[in-house]
Amino acid sequence: MSTERLRCLLVADFTIDNLAGLLANDEAMPLVEAVTAPYEQVAPVLLNAAHPAWSPRPDVTMIWTRPERVSESFARLLDYEDVPLENILAEVDRFADQVTGIHDRTRLALVPTWTMPHYHRGYGLLDMKPGLGHAAVLMQMNLRLAERLAGSSNTFFLDAGRWMAQAGPRASNPKLWFMGKVTFGNDVFVAAMAALKAAVNAAFGRSRKLVVVDLDDTLWGGILGDIGRDQIRLGGHDPIGEAFASFQRGLKALRNRGILLGIVSKNVEETALEAIDNHPEMVLRREHFAGWRINWSDKAQNLAELTAELNLGLQSVVFIDDNPVECDRVRSTLPEVLVPEWPTDPMLYLSTLEALDCFDTVAVSGEDRNRAQMYAAERRRQDLMGAIGSVDDWLASLQMQVTVEPLNDTNRERAVQLLNKTNQMNLTTRRMTAAELESWLENPCRRLWTFRVADKFGDAGLTGICSCELDGDRAKIVDFVLSCRVMGRKVEETMLHMAISWARAQRATYVEARPIATEKNGPCRDFFAASSFKLDQATGTYSWSTSADYPVPPPITLQQ
C-alpha cells in the first residue's frame, strides 16, 4: 500500500482541529494530511469552486455540520416553536444540493449524519412523535439527506450515531462548546477518524476479500482430534456452543455479501471435513469455503499458499485464530495480512467480527453476492482440468462466452469497483471514482469496454475492463484490467482483439501498451512479455501494428 499521504479537507460549522490533529498523527494506513476550511464557512466553501480550500484538490472531503445550523427551521423547532416539517426538509434539500455540487472538486466526499447530545430529551415521551418530536424530525432529516446524496457516485453518508454510542457520556460536553466551540468529545473524533479511514480504503479499493479461520476453539469449542466430532461445543443449549454457532452465522453473513471464507488449521483433513459435513449444528458446510489447508504444516506457509491458490493478494486477507502464538507467527511473517486481536471468550467472537471495518465497499454488486458460488464453480473447473490434462482441451471444454459492452448505467458500479480493486492483471493500477471515469470518457478519442465471462459452470460476471485513447496515429491502451478469477483463459487476448479492432477502425497505425510496474501487477507484465507484441526496450512500451490481424482466440465465443 502506498505511503503517500492523502489530502483531506475538513469542512465544519464547529471547531474540528481535534480531528485534523488525530489524522495527521495517526500512522495507520492510509496516511492522511488534514487541512481545515475556515470556521463556520460551510456554505461559502461549498458554493465557491474558486475558494482556496479546494487547491490543491483534496482526495477526501468531510462535511460535518450541526442540524440547527443547516436548517434555521429546525433551530426554531428546538426552541419548541410550531414549524412545518416541509420547511425543514426544504432546507435539507438545499444543503444536499450544496454537497453534491462539489463532486468534481474531490475524489471522495463524506457526510456524517446529524446527531443530538445524549442529554437532550426534547419532548421526552413525545420526542419520537412524527412531525413534533426533535428525535423524530431529526431521523426524517437524516433520511431525506441520505436519499438526496445517494445519486452522487462519490458521496457517502457516515453513521455518526455509532460514534456517539461508542463514546457514551463522553460524546458531548457543554463546557467544550463554551470554551472552544468544540461540539464533540475526543472519543467521537477518534471514532470518526477510524470511519474516515475505512471509507477511504473502501473507496480506493483496499477492502479485505477473504477471511481465513482456524477450526479448534475458533469455529467450534474443543480439540476435534482429542474429543471427537460429537463432543465439540457447538450450538445446543450450551451458551459457549451457542456463541460458536452465532460466530459461524456471522461468517456466513459475510459470505452472503461477497467475502470469501477459507480454513487454515492444524488437524487431520479427513476428520475435520467429516465434522464440517456431518455435525448437526454446523452452520458452515464444506461448500461455504473457497478453499482450505488442513494439515500439520506451518500456518503462515499454508495461508500464503491458499491465498495464491485463490489468486488473491495477501493484502486481501483477514486471519482469525484463537491461538496468540499462531497469530504472532502470521503477523511477523505475512505483515500484509490483517490479524485482529482476538478475544479469549467465545461469547465475544461475533461482536469482534462485526466490529471489523475492513470489509467496507462503496457498492455491492451481483458479482459480489455471487463471488463464493463463483469460486465453487472454479473448483469444478480445476477438477475438470485435472481430468482432461491438456490446457487447450480444457479451455475448449469450458465453452467460454465473452460479452463486450460499453460503460453504461447497469455496469458502471461494478466496472469502477473492478478498476479500483484489481492489482495483479492491471496495466497501470489507475484508480478512479465513477465521476472521474465518466468525465475521462467524455473525450471522443477515448473508448472503454467491459467484459463479462461465462462458461458451462456458471457466469463469472463482469471481470474485465479495457480502455484506449487515440494519440495521433497510435492508440494507447490506458486500462487493461482483469479479475484473477479468469486469468489465463484467453480473455486477455480477447480484450486485445477489441482494442486492436477499434484502433484499426480509427485508422491508427499501432496499438501501444506500457505497463507501469507495481508490487502486485507482475502477472500483467508477464502477460505482455509473453505476448506477440513488440517490445521497445528503451521505453518499456509494447506495440502491435494494426496491419496485422489479431483474431479472437479459438476457445472463446465473442458477443457484442
**Would you place residue 1 in the very low, low, confident or very high pLDDT band (cuts 50, 70, 90)?**
very low
Whether residue 162 is predicted with pLDDT greater than 50 in this model: the reply is yes
The cell numbers describing 497, all together, are 482483439
Mean pLDDT score of the chain, rounded to an integer? 91
State the amino acid at position 284 in one-letter form: L
Phi, psi of 539, deg, nearest 5: -105, -15
Q: Is-contact 145 89, C-beta < 8 A?
A: no
pLDDT score at 379: 60
pLDDT over 70 percentage in the chain: 94
* C-alpha to C-alpha distance for 246 and 354, rounded to whole angstroms: 11
* C-alpha to C-alpha distance for 155 and 61, rounded to whole angstroms: 9
Quick: pLDDT tens for 32-85. Answer: 999 999 999 999 999 999 999 999 999 999 999 999 999 999 999 999 999 999
Long-range CB contacts for residues 276-280, cutoff 8 Å, separation at least 24: 278/229, 279/220, 279/229, 279/230, 279/232, 279/234, 280/235
Q: Specify the 3-state DSSP secondary structure of 391.
A: helix
CA atoms within 13 A on the CB side of 252: 14
Quick: pLDDT tens for 298-310. Answer: 999 999 999 988 8
| Strand runs labelled E in 1-84 | 6-12, 32-36, 60-64
Among 140, 146, 138, CA closest to 66: 138
Quick: pLDDT tens for 374-388. Answer: 666 666 555 555 555
pLDDT score at 213: 98
Quick: pLDDT tens for 218-253. Answer: 999 999 988 999 999 999 899 999 999 999 999 999
Write down the pTM of the prediction.
Answer: 0.72
* C-alpha to C-alpha distance for 11 and 109, rounded to whole angstroms: 11
Quick: pLDDT tens for 490-519. Answer: 999 999 999 999 999 999 999 999 999 988
Q: Is-contact 10 193, C-beta < 8 A?
A: no
Among 316, 236, 238, CA closest to 279: 236
Q: Specify the 3-state DSSP secondary structure of 379.
A: helix
Q: Is-contact 213 276, C-beta < 8 A?
A: no
DSSP secondary-structure letter at 552?
A: P
**Would you place residue 369 in the very low, low, confident or very high pLDDT band (cuts 50, 70, 90)?**
low
Q: Is-contact 247 349, C-beta < 8 A?
A: yes
pLDDT score at 141: 98
- Concatenating the DSSP letter of every residue in 234-257 gives -STT-HHHHHHHHHHHHHHHHHHT
pLDDT score at 167: 95
* C-alpha to C-alpha distance for 309 and 219, rounded to whole angstroms: 22
- Concatenating the DSSP letter of every residue in 182-198 gives --S-HHHHHHHHHHHHH
Question: What pairing do the DSSP bridges indicate for beta strands 155-158 and 108-112?
Answer: parallel
Among 20, 21, 26, 18, CA closest to 8: 20
